[in-house]
Amino acid sequence: MTTRTENPEDSMSTATPARAPHGEAPTGRGPAEGRVGAGLFEPGRLVRSLPQAVRKLDPRVMVTSPVMFVVWVGSLLTTAFSCAHPGDWFGWTISAWLWLTVLFANLAEAVAEGRGKAQADTLRKAKTDTVARRQVDGREERVPGTALGIGDLVVCEAGDVIPGDGDVVEGVASVDESAITGESAPVIRESGGDRSAVTGGTKVLSDRIVVKITTRPGETFIDRMISLVEGAARQKTPNEIALNILLASLTVVFLLACATLPPLAGYAGAHLSMVVLVALLVCLIPTTIGALLSAIGIAGMDRLVQRNVLAMSGRAVEAAGDVSTLLLDKTGTITLGNRRAARFVPVRGATEAEVADAAQLSSLADETPEGRSVVVLAKERHGLRERHEGELTGARWIAFTAQTRMSGVDVDGREVRKGATASVLAWVAERGGTVAEDAAAVADRISEAGGTPLLVAVHDERGARILGVIHLKDVVKDGMRERFGELRRMGIRTVMITGDNPLTAKAIAEEAGVDDFLAEATPEDKMALIKREQAGGKLVAMTGDGTNDAPALAQADVGVAMNTGTSAAKEAGNMVDLDSDPTKLIEIVEIGKQLLITRGALTTFSIANDVAKYFAIIPALFAAVYPGLDKLNVMHLTSPSSAILSAVVFNALIIVALVPLSLKGVRYRPMSADRMLRRNLALYGVGGLIAPFVGIKIIDLLVSLIPGIG
C-alpha cells in the first residue's frame, strides 16, 4: 500500500506493471488449485492418509491431545483386559471400536495434513540447486546457490533462475513466478520501488537485474511455504490452547466421576468391569471435538492456501476471525486504480471543444492510463482524430516531472499545458495571463464529487489563459458497497486509507460505503491509527506492499503483505498474498471467522451429544440393582450390553461423519454475533441433542440382530 501524494499527476509518471489488474481473476492456477481433489473425503485420500494415521498412534504424538490420549490409554486397558479374558467377545468388540475411535481422530488430522503435503510436493519442484553469478569487487564469480549469504549481490539475466530471495537493486526485468503463485502471466520486478522483491526459484524472462540476497539458504520463502503448508510449523493458537484446557478439565472431571462409580456399584451389589468403565468414560468426555480440533485448525490454514494466501502462523488466521477494524488502501483495493478522464469542463469564455482539443494535444506524449484516457475521451466525445507525435513537426514535448507537476507541448506558436491546479495557475500567472473567476470553483466541485481536477491552459497570441478542467474519476469497483455492507453487519468497521485530499477522499468513501477514511495518509498516520484502534481493545487488519508499510504491518494484528512488495513488507506481515490482490483481505477475514464458527459449532455439537449417552449407558449400568432407573431408558435399548456397545460405536462413527465438515468449515453468513449464537445453538446444540438419540437407537437395532445379545 504505497502512500500517495497530493499531486494529481503522480500516478502519471509511473508505468503500469505488466500484470492483471487487482480484483480480476488470475489467468493461471494457484499452488493449491488442481492438486487437491474436489472431494474433501474421497476414498483415495483416505487410503493415502491411513499409514500416517497409524503412525500417529505413537504415545509421544497422542499426548499432545489430552482427550484422545485418555481414549488411547483406555484402549490399551480394555485390550489388556480382553487378553486376560480371551473368551469375552464384548471386551474385544469394545476394544476394537475404541481403537477405531483413536484411529478416526488421527485420520481426520492426517487427511488435513495430506492436503498440505500435496501442495508442498509441488512447491519442492520449484526448488533447484542453482549456480549464482555473484558480484565481488566489480567482477563476477560462479558459486553454488547454497553458498550465498545475506548481502551478496548476484546477477540474473534472461533464462536464469533466481538463486535466492532478495531485492532488485539494479535494473528491471520480467519474471515468471508461476512456480509459487500459479499465475502464468509474467510480472515486472524493478529496483527502487515497492515491486523490488524476488523469490528464489523463480525465473527471469527478459533483461538483466542485480539482486541483493536477503535470506540464508534453507530459510527462503519457498522453504517457509513448504514447512507451513505441510503443517510442520503450525503452532496451536491461543483459542485452540484455551479450548484444549477446557476439554482437558472436562476429561478430568469425568475421570474422577467414573473413578467413584466402582465403590458405589459394589455397595449396591453391582459389578462394573474395566471395559464398561472405560466405555462410559470415553462416551462421556468430549471425544468428538477433541478428535477434530487439530484438523479444524489445519483446514483453516489450508483454506487460505487455496486462495493463494500464506499464513505465517495459525494465530494470524484466528486473529482474522476476531478483527473489528479493516484498513484498506483506496487505489487498487476500493477503486480500480487507474483514474480515467470522465468529462471536459470549460470555464467562462471557453468552449468544451477548445478544452478537448488542448487536453488531447497535451496528452499525446503521456503514456499513462490517465493520459491515454484523455486522448480517447476527446476522440469519442468530440470526434477529434487521435494525432501522433510524428505528425506535429517542430513540436517540443514537455514531460511531466515531480517539480513542475505539468505536461504539455509547444507547437505552431502555442504553448499548451495540463496539470495540477496550483502548478497551472502559477504557469499562467508567470506569463501575465488571466484566470477565469470560475476556474477554482469548477476544480473544487470536481474534488468534492470525488474526482481529480487537472487544469488545461494555453498561451497564444491572445495571451495565457485557463481553458477548462479535465475531470479525472477514480472508479469504485463493482460490488464494493455491498461487501462493506456485509462487513458492517458482521460488526467490522472499515477505514479507507488514501493520499488524496480530504474532499476527494470523502467523496470516494461515501460512494464506496466505507465507515471512515484517513486522507493524506503518511506511514506515521497509519501507525497512529492502528495504535488508537488497538488501545480501544480492537483487533486491526491491514494490507501493505512497501517498505514504508512495514512498521504498520508489524503493528497490525493481521498484516497482509503483497507478494509483489518489498522483502521488508513480507517480513513484517504475518500473511503473504501470492496474488498481490489487496481486496483479498476481506476474504481472509471471512475465512478467519469461518474457522472460529466451525470450532464453536462442533464444540457445541460435541458437548450436546453426550446427553444421549447418559440415557443409554447409566440405565444399562444400574437398572439391575435400581429398577427405577429403567425409566431413563427412553430409547428402549435392547439390553445393557447393546446399549453400551451402541453408544461406543456411535461415538466413533460421529467423528467420521463430521470430518468433511471440519475440513470444509461451517458455512459462513454475515450476521450479528447474538444472531449467529442463536443460529448455532439451534442447529448444532439442538441437533447435537437429537442426532445421538436417533443414531444410538438405529445402531442398537442392528446390534440386537447379532446372536448372543439380548
C-alpha 83: how far from its chain's center? 51
Burial 583-601 (b: 16+ CB within 10 A, else e): bbbbbbbbbbbbbbbbbbb
Q: Establish whether 404 is an annotated binding residue.
A: yes
Q: Known binder of ligand: residue 402?
A: yes
DSSP strand pairing (197-198 vs 203-206): unpaired
Of residues 627, 624, 629, 614, the one with CA closest to residue 269: 624
* Residues 340, 369: Cα–Cα separation, whole Å: 7
236 marked ligand binding residue? no
- Does 329 participate in catalysis according to the annotation? yes
CA pair distance 665, 602, nearest whole angstrom: 10
400 is in an annotated binding site: yes
Cβ contacts of 705 within 8 Å, gap of 6 or more: none
407 is in an annotated binding site: yes
* Phi, psi angles (nearest 5°) of residue 285: -75, 155
26, 30, 187, 356, 402 from 579: Cα distances, Å: 8, 9, 11, 38, 31
Please tell me the distance from the alpha carbon of residue 102 to that of residue 100, in angstroms, as a whole number: 5
The 10 Å Cβ neighbour count of residue 259 is 11
- 24 by Cβ neighbours in 10 Å (0-12 / 13-18 / 19+) ranks as exposed
Contact residues for 56 (Cβ-Cβ < 8 A; gap 6+): 62, 106, 109, 110
Q: Which of 160, 167, 329, 700 is catalytic?
A: 329
Q: How far apart are the C-alpha atoms of 563 and 32, rounded to whole Å?
A: 16
549 annotated to a ligand binding site? yes
Helix (H, G, I), strand (E, B) or coil at 419: strand
Q: How far apart are CA 323 and CA 540, in angstroms?
A: 6
Using CA atoms, how far residue 422 sits from 418, 426, 429, 453, 462, in Å, is 11, 6, 11, 11, 22
Element (H, E) at 675: helix 673-680
- Collect all residues with Cβ–Cβ distance below 8 Å to 177 and sequence separation of at least 6: 183, 186, 187, 199, 202, 563
* 406 annotated ligand-binding residue: yes
According to the annotation, is 693 in a ligand binding site? no
Amino acid at 10: D
Cell of 644: 453400551
Q: How far apart are CA 348 and CA 344, in angstroms?
A: 13
Which contiguous run of DSSP H or E holds residue 424? helix 421-430
Taking the alpha carbons of 272, 273, 276, 277 in that order, is the dihedral positive or negative?
A: positive
Q: How many helices (H) and strands (E) does the chain have?
A: 25, 21
Cα 204 from Cα 213, distance rounded (Å): 16
84 annotated to bind ligand: no
User: What is the identity of the amino acid at 172?
Assistant: V
Q: Retrieve residue 337's grid coordinates.
A: 486504480
Strands (E), 232-339: 309-311, 325-329
Instruction: For residue 641, give the amino acid letter.
Output: S
Helix, coil or strand: residue 126: helix
Residues annotated in a binding site for Mg(2+): 545, 549
Q: Which residues are catalytic?
A: 329
Residues annotated in a binding site for ATP: 366, 370, 400-407, 418
